[in-house]
Each structure stands twice: as C-alpha cells, then as structure tokens.
C-alpha cells in the first residue's frame, strides 16, 4: 500500500519499508476533522500520523518526496511532518479511501487548526493516491 | 508682514506634513489591501486539474488497447487501476476546491457530469476484462471514446478562463503600480519640503542664537563701560526703576553720603529720607 525509502534505518524489504493497511494501522490510529482540497466541507479523516511513520522507519532526511499512484510527486519539508499532526488518512467519514476518492492513502494537513499552513503550495502537498515516500 | 510670512511658513509645513502622512497612510494601506487581495486570488490551478484528468483519460485508453493486444505488462488489474485513477481525477473536478473554481468555467458542469456518468456505466464491464478480450475492450472503447472531445474541451476552457484571469491580474497589478507610484511621488515631494523646511528652521534658530549671543555681549560691554565711567566720575549718579526705586548708585555718591548701598537699593527717595 505504501513504501518508504531513502534515508531510513528500519526496512523490511531491500532499501525500503513496505506497509500494508494493517501495518499502518498498528502504528496507532489518529483522527482529524478538516477541510481538504479534494472534498467539500469539513470531513472526518482517520489514519496514521505521518510523524509516526517517519519515526517507525527511522527517517533522517530533511526533504520528503511523495509520489502518488498517478506518478505525481512533490517535495515536502520533513519539518511539516514532524512539527504538525499531518495525517496519512486511510478513511474518510468512517469509510476506507479508494483511488476514486484520492485513497488508499491521502495526506491531510490540519489546515483549519494552523493558519500558517494555508499557503498556495498546500494543495500541491496534499498528495492523494499516495504510494511512495522518499526521504532525502 | 512678518506675521504673514510666519503664517505662510507654518502653512507650508503643515500642508507638507499632511500630504506626507496621507501619502504614507494610503500607500501602506494600499499595499496591505493588495496583499490580502492577492492571497484571496490564489486559486487552485484548474488547468493542472483538467490536464491531469485528460492525461489519465488517455492513459486509460492506452491501457485498454494494450490489454486487448496482450502487450507485455498489460493486465486486467493494471487496467482497472488506471480506470480507478481516472475516476479519482474526474472526482476532483466534481468535488472540492478545484470543482468550486471549475464552476466559473462556462459549461464545465455540463461536460464533467456526462463524463462521470459514462465512466460509471462501464464499471460492470471492467470486472470482466481479460487479456486479449477484444470484444469487451471494443465495447468499452466505443462508450468512452466519445469522451475525448469533452475532456479536451474542458482543458481548453479551463485554460481560457485562466488566461482571462491572468490578463485581469496583470491589468490590476499595473493599475496598483501606477497608484503606488503616485503615492510615492507624494511622499517624496512632501518629504523633501519637510526636510527643506526643517533645515531652514535649524539654520534660522542658529542665526537667532548667534545674534542673541552677540547682543548680550554688546550689552555687557556697554554696562561695563558705564560702570567704569560712573565709578571714576566725581558726580553723583544714580538710577531708578519705573516705580522710582533706586537701582544704582555711583561710587562717588556712596562715598560722599556715607551709607551702605545694600540698605538703600530698592527704596524710594521718601523711604531713604525716613531712614
């Protein structure tokens, strides 16, 4: 479901850490009620904190490249994940996300709780259909 | 005449100060307002969203063709994955921030809606896809190939709307630039006048100070000359104030009369006579 590679110290495959849904959920489920560029209004998202995934793999880089199933990729400062409760959402309103609604993993920023996050690049960083994280 | 010149000087100073303050206030206010406007104007890039959808549409068509021709790597699962990604991209145009901006594009709703409906209709057939199953693929292609035109039209219309918005933004920036230049000319002109007036005021104050020092020096010299003269003269000399009280006695007078100057200074003739 999600692969993390690059500057990480904990792997379960050559050069990378592969997560399925159960492995991600085992890191601890968090929830957030937030607006996102991909849906109307405030929605309830459940998932795992990006920070927890970074800690689980022992990420040591400053920059994170997130790539979606559609091959869209964007660079995100690692500090975003460490400083804010950014969610790797697995569910929306209690239902698992699918490709057709930007799943199975969607990056959700707590944009309603941290005004400083609302910048023109925020939508670009709210990657949907996330499949790979590369720590650099 | 002097009062009129002074009034004119203060009038210019006040006018320059007011123009300066107003110019600074409006230019700062303008810049802050424009900053807010710019941040409000940051819209999701609908060209990016519509182009992504169009690209995924062609990727799905290619995946279907590859599956029908049993190309290496072409699998039903991969084709379904491309279909799901396409649905995801079309969904972005139906819900959320991009969809909201896309509604500004005339006729966009009437393009997106039928595309979504058609893609939903082929969903059952997607579950029966097999490698080399040309009839099923042909059936799906026949349903979705007519979407080529609306998908492209959507991108084009989004581009046109974005171009128009871009032209509007550029015109607005130019207008704001001219307005700000006006304010800065006001700031520059009134600021220069204020500096000149301040400079002139300082010079005038210096001149007055120097003149006062010279006058005081002349007065001291004059008083000293008078005292020298009075003390050397044998005549009786004295001076009184406006109420006829003694303020000065010459040395000759004091010696002749034999009184202490301290005891009679500040007294009138009558008061001294009583003493």
**Domain range annotation of chain B:** 1-232, 238-274
Q: What is the pLDDT of residues A25-67, one digit of tens each?
A: 999 999 999 988 888 889 999 999 999 999 999 999 888 998 9
CB contact under 8 A, A100 and B42: no
Give B 90-109 residues with CB within 8 A of chain A: 91-92, 95-99
CB contact under 8 A, A102 and B88: yes
Q: Give the pLDDT of residue B275.
A: 53
Q: Does B52 touch chain A (CB under 8 A)?
A: yes
Partnered with residue A33 across adjacent β-strands are A44
CB contact under 8 A, A99 and B81: yes
pLDDT at residue B263 tops 90: no
- Say how far apart CA A98 and CA A90 lie, in whole Å: 9
Minimal C-alpha gap between A17 and chain B (Å): 23
Q: What is the pLDDT of residues B126-181, one digit of tens each?
A: 988 999 889 999 999 999 999 999 999 988 888 887 777 777 778 888 888 888 88
Task: Please tell me which of the candidates B88, B96, B99 has its beta carbon nearest to residue A99.
Answer: B88
Which residue of chain A is at minimal alpha-carbon distance from B90?
A100
Stretch B44-69: mean pLDDT, rounded? Answer: 90
Chain B positions touching A129 (Cβ under 8 A) are 85, 88
Which residue of chain A is at minimal alpha-carbon distance from B38?
A120
3-state secondary structure chain A: CEEEEECCCCCCECCEEEECHHHHHHCCCEEEEEEECCEEEEEEEEEEEHHHHHHHHCCCCCEEEEEECCCCEEEEEHHHHHHCCCEEEEEECCEECCHHHCCCCEEECCCCCCHHHCCCCHHHHCCCCEEEEEEC
Q: Does B62 touch chain A (CB under 8 A)?
A: no
Q: Give the pLDDT of residue B101.
A: 82
Q: Does B156 touch chain A (CB under 8 A)?
A: no
User: Average pLDDT over chain B, rounded to whole?
Assistant: 83
The residue with greater pLDDT, A118 or B164, is A118
Stretch A75-89: mean pLDDT, rounded? Answer: 95
Q: What confidence category does residue B9 fall into, taking pLDDT thresholds of 50, 70 and 90?
A: low
Q: DSSP H helical segments within chain B, as ranges?
A: 2-41, 46-68, 76-92, 97-102, 108-121, 123-126, 134-144, 148-232, 251-257, 261-264, 269-274
Q: Give the pLDDT of residue B64.
A: 94
pLDDT at residue B42 tops 50: no
All domains of chain A, ordered by start, with CATH? 2-135 (3.90.420.10)
- Say how far apart CA A52 and CA A82 lie, in whole Å: 9
Q: Give the pLDDT of residue B274.
A: 62
Quick one: tokens of B71? Answer: 């190309």
The residue with greater pLDDT, B162 or B88, is B88
Which residue of chain A is at minimal alpha-carbon distance from B98?
A37
Distances (CA, A) of A84 to A2, A28, A39, A52, A87: 21, 16, 21, 11, 9
CB contact under 8 A, B96 and A38: yes
Chain A positions touching B84 (Cβ under 8 A) are 98-100
Q: Does B242 touch chain A (CB under 8 A)?
A: no
Q: Give the pLDDT of residue B6.
A: 65
């Amino acid at each position: 479901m999600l692969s993390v590679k690059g500057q990480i110290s904990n792997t379960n495959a050559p050069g990378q850490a592969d997560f399925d849904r159960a492995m991600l959920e085992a890191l601890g489920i968090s929830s957030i009620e937030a607006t996102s560029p991909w849906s109307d209004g405030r929605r309830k998202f459940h998932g795992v904190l990006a920070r927890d995934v970074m800690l689980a793999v022992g990420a040591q880089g400053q920059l994170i490249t997130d790539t979606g199933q559609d091959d869209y990729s964007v660079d995100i400062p690692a500090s975003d994940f460490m400083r804010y409760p950014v969610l790797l959402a697995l569910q929306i309103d209690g239902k698992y996300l699918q490709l057709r609604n930007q799943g199975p993993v969607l990056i959700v920023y707590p944009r309603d709780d941290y005004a400083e996050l609302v910048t023109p690049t925020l939508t670009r960083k709210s990657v949907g259909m996330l499949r790979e994280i590369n720590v650099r | 005449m002097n009062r009129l010149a002074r009034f004119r000087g203060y009038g210019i100073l006040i006018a320059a100060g007011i123009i300066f303050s107003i110019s600074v206030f409006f230019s700062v206010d303008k810049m802050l307002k424009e900053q807010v406007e710019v941040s409000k104007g940051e819209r999701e890039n609908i060209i990016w969203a519509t182009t992504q959808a169009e690209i995924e549409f062609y990727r799905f068509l290619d995946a279907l063709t590859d599956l029908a021709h049993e190309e290496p790597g072409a699998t039903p699962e991969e084709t379904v994955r491309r279909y799901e990604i396409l649905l995801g991209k079309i969904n972005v145009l139906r819900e959320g921030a991009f969809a909201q901006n896309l509604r500004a594009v005339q006729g966009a709703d009437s393009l997106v809606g039928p595309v979504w409906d058609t893609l939903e209709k082929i969903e059952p057939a997607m579950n029966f896809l097999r490698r080399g199953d040309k009839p099923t693929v042909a059936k799906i292609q026949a349903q979705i190939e007519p979407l080529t035109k609306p998908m492209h039209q959507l991108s084009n219309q989004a581009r046109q709307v974005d171009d128009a918005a871009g032209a509007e933004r550029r015109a607005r920036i130019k207008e704001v630039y001219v307005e700000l230049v006006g304010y800065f000319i006001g700031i520059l002109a009134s600021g220069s006048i204020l500096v000149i007036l301040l400079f002139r005021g300082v010079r005038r104050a210096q001149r007055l100070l120097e003149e006062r020092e010279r006058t005081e020096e002349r007065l001291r010299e004059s008083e000293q000359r008078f005292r020298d003269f009075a003390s050397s003269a044998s005549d009786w000399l004295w001076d009184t104030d406006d109420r006829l009280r003694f303020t000065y006695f010459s040395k000759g007078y004091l010696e002749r009369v034999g009184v202490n100057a301290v005891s009679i200074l500040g007294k009138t003739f009558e008061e001294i006579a009583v003493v």
